[in-house]
Structure formats: C-alpha cells, structure tokens
Amino acid sequence: MSEIKNWRNFRLYVITAADCHPGRELIQVMEQTLIGGADMLQLRNKTGSKREVLEQAKALRELTSKYGVPFIVNDHPDIALEAEADGVHLGQEDMPIAEARQRLGSGKIIGISTQCVEQALAAQAAGADYIGAGPVFPTRTKPDRAAVTTEYIRQAAEAVSIPVVAIGGITPDNAETVLAAGAKRLCAVSAIVGSEDPAAVCLALRKTIAAAGGWQKRLITLNGLAHPTSASRLDELIHLLGQGEKRLVAELDGTVVPRSQWARTLLSEGAKLELVHFVGGG
C-alpha cells in the first residue's frame, strides 16, 4: 500500500459517474484515471442504496490506497468512516461542517461545494479543508444549477486560503481558460470517466495544469544531477523525459522499481533516481 502524501498537493480531482460509462466496471474506469494522473478521487452515488455505496467505497479505498491517492466519499460521513476513506464532500444542503467534523474527527478531510464568495468564506470559517467552486460551465451532472463562470473562480482564488477546486463542465478544451482565471486545481467528471480513454484525458489535463504553472515542481536527483520536475509519479517523469519506449531499469532511493509499479510510485522532494538504459544484443 502506497503512503498518502500531503493531500493538499493535489491538482486533478476526479469524481465517479457510473452513468457516463455504461458497460464498463467502476473500478476499471477509475483505475484508468489514477494511471493517467488523477491525485484525488471521490465516490459520488446519489441513487444507490447505502449497502451499494459502502461496497463501492471499500473497493475504491483499496484501489486508491495502492496508488497513494486520497479518497473522498460524497454525502455520507458514516460510510466514509466505515470504508476508512480520507474524508467526505458535502453540499450546501447537507449536514453542517461542525457536525461532520464531530463525526469524522480532526484527521479527516471535509470539502464543501460552493457557488459564490459568501459560501466560500463561510466554508473556510466553519473549518472546511477545501472547497469545490462551480459549476464553472453548464454540465449534465448538475443540469439544474446555473454556471458560476470563471469570474467566481477568480473571486474564490483571491478570497480564501484553503484549496479551491474548479468543477463543472471542465474539459481539456476549456481547462486553460479556467486556469487563467486563477484555478490551481481542476475537477472533471464526464469529460474523464465518460471518455473511451480516461487515462489519456487525465494526462492531457495534467499537462495543461503544469503548463499553466499550477503544478509545483519538486527537486530530485536524477543520475547524480539536480533535476526539477513537475512529475509526481515515476511513470510520468519517464514519459516527460521521452524515455517511455526504452528498456530501462529504475532505481529509486536505492531500490529497483519494477516497470509494473512505475504508475504507483510517487516522487518525493529530494528523491534520488537512477535510470539505466539497456541496449539489446548478444
């Protein structure tokens, strides 16, 4: 099981939406998002029974633990606790933050959906750990809610110090506009899980975030030299280096990492990485 690092470093948040991928298993789709670089995941199931939601939560907890990614349950603090999730996400009409905190304890993450600056400030004052800001654009997952536009993203980014996650109708085509408004973290739903290739969409969004400066670089040592990188995982670094097709042996902090584990291996500040290229012959 991978260690979950400082969760506030997340940049790409993905939420489940089983109706967006009929015929494909939830775990299969969500693992593709993790392979593509999602670094926070939320279970959102508004129609299932509590038993079904709990079963999904336990399965996703196991999956996200393998990748060292924080896992959030929408609406249900009790299920979050039973499934050993990292926290819960609440809407404006759900239980008060104080009640959720009392149930969950101080060590769990609480996120709140917001649609205006007043709600953002109130959430921060009440002890929320992050806010969702949206929907930025019209979205089929919230068809009855008016878009808040990128203006609210700009306002929220300036008004609160806790993490702000832009959400709602975000795609690789409009992500740059949202980031230009001040967003550092994006959440996409149907654009990712409704895609035939969720991993590719996640990777595209991560690249857009990195290009906008929203992805903090860490300094590692690569083959004996200082190397700043925006990559958070070993597979991403190797991809950015253009070495993905080569026969490589990767040794991280003195331990050889099998290629099958690259997507699950996190790069921490100060990590020491040796990459050795083998050339066939003989």
Cα–Cα distance measured from residue 111 to residue 43, given in angstroms and rounded to the nearest whole number? 13
Handedness of CA 185, 189, 193, 195 (dihedral sign): negative
Out of 24, 66, 103, 142, which one is annotated catalytic? Answer: 142
Q: Which of 11, 61, 108, 113 is catalytic?
A: 113
Active site residue 50: no
Decide if 113 is catalytic: yes
> pLDDT per residue over 128-163, tens digit each?
999 999 999 988 766 777 899 999 999 999 999 899
pTM of the model as a whole: 0.78
Residue 145: the pLDDT is 78
Q: Which amino acid is at 8?
A: R
Calpha distance 60→65 (Å, rounded): 8
**Which whole number is the average pLDDT over 257-264?**
89
Q: How confident is the model at residue 216 (pLDDT cuts 50, 70, 90)?
A: low
Q: Report the Cα 271 to chain-centroid distance in Å.
A: 22
Note the pLDDT of residue 237: 86
**44 counts as catalytic:** yes
Q: What is the mean pLDDT of residues 239-251?
A: 84
What is the structure's pLDDT at 1? Answer: 39
Reference 130, options 46, 65, 175, 186; nearest CA is 186
Residue numbers in the known binding site for Mg(2+) are 75, 94
Tell me: pLDDT of 282 over 50: no
Domains of the chain: 7-211 (3.20.20.70), 218-277 (3.10.20.30)
Residue 34 has pLDDT above 90, yes or no: yes
Catalytic pick among 44, 58, 66, 154: 44
Mean pLDDT, the chain, whole residue set: 90
Residue 3 banded pLDDT, cuts 50, 70, 90: very low
Annotated binding residues, written as ranges, equal: 42-46, 74-75, 94, 113, 139-142, 169, 189-190
pLDDT at 30: 97
CA atoms within 13 A on the CB side of 134: 24
User: Is a pLDDT exceeding 60 seen at residue 167?
Assistant: yes
Report whether pLDDT(102) > 50: yes
Please check whether residue 67 is in contact with residue 34, taking contact to mean a CB–CB distance below 8 angstroms.
Answer: yes
Percentage with pLDDT > 90 across the chain: 69
pLDDT of residue 215: 56
